[in-house]
Amino acid sequence: AQSVTQPDIHITVSEGASLELRCNYSYGATPYLFWYVQSPGQGLQLLLKYFSGDTLVQGIKGFEAEFKRSQSSFNLRKPSVHWSDAAEYFCAVGAVGSGNKLVFGAGTILRVKS
Amino acid sequence: NAGVMQNPRHLVRRRGQEARLRCSPMKGHSHVYWYRQLPEEGLKFMVYLQKENIIDESGMPKERFSAEFPKEGPSILRIQQVVRGDSAAYFCASSPGLAGANEQFFGPGTRLTVL
């Protein structure tokens, strides 16, 4: 069965600093990978997704993520964080043939210091 | 094109009452997913439906919970005889086809509070 681990529950960075949020997954085949962002009291917005091809994917709001098969990782990065990026970030894995459901990590709460 | 719509946004029920949560997928989407988010946890899959069919209900509790997606109208998640442990945010997502290849678009959620 698929699983997703986000090892950092909370991360605090200064505005303008770079950001990396970690995500490790467990799945027997090539997964479909997603990063979502959730602001307090809101739904989830897709930041980016990986299905195949180039392992470095670009998303919205200046985010990018790199799929590393050898490390079973899909870390999210941003070169310069803005105060409006403060939110909770979820990594998710999906796979055809498993009911097409998404399996989410527990999330990482990002705080941005001004 | 309106996004996924869920109502109500907030729902308060007393123990033993029934809760009905509604989800209207995006136009053109025929696949609906329900997820539950308990406080300070990630989302957990509950059920995957297509029109008039339950495709995967492996995440649904065995009792009191049911879901449907009729030919006409929204998808409904129904919780009978609610208990305090049902308090959570319930999110609906939709996709146009096989979600392995298509992203799921999420609604704003229904926050259920059981008193």
> For B34-91, what is each residue's pLDDT tens digit?
999 988 788 999 999 999 999 999 999 999 999 999 999 999 999 999 999 999 999 9
Residue A84 has pLDDT above 60, yes or no: yes
**Which chain A positions have a beta carbon within 8 Å of B41's beta carbon?**
106-107
Chain A contact for B100, CB < 8 A? yes
**Which chain B positions have a beta carbon within 8 Å of A106's beta carbon?**
41-42
pLDDT at residue B100, as a whole number? 55
**pLDDT-based confidence at residue A11 (cuts at 50, 70, 90):** very high
Chain A contact for B35, CB < 8 A? yes
Nearest CA in chain B to A90: B42
**Which chain A positions have a beta carbon within 8 Å of B36's beta carbon?**
none
What torsion do the CA atoms of A53, A56, A60, A62 make, to the nearest 10 degrees?
-160
Contact B48 A101 (CB under 8 A): yes
Residue B10 has pLDDT above 70, yes or no: yes
Strand ranges, E, within B1-115: 5-7, 10-13, 19-24, 31-37, 43-50, 53-56, 65-68, 75-79, 88-95, 105-106, 110-114
Residue B26 has pLDDT above 80, yes or no: yes
Q: Which residue has the higher pLDDT, B63 or B98?
A: B63
Contact A100 B45 (CB under 8 A): no
Residue A8 has pLDDT above 70, yes or no: yes
pLDDT at residue A30, as a whole number? 72
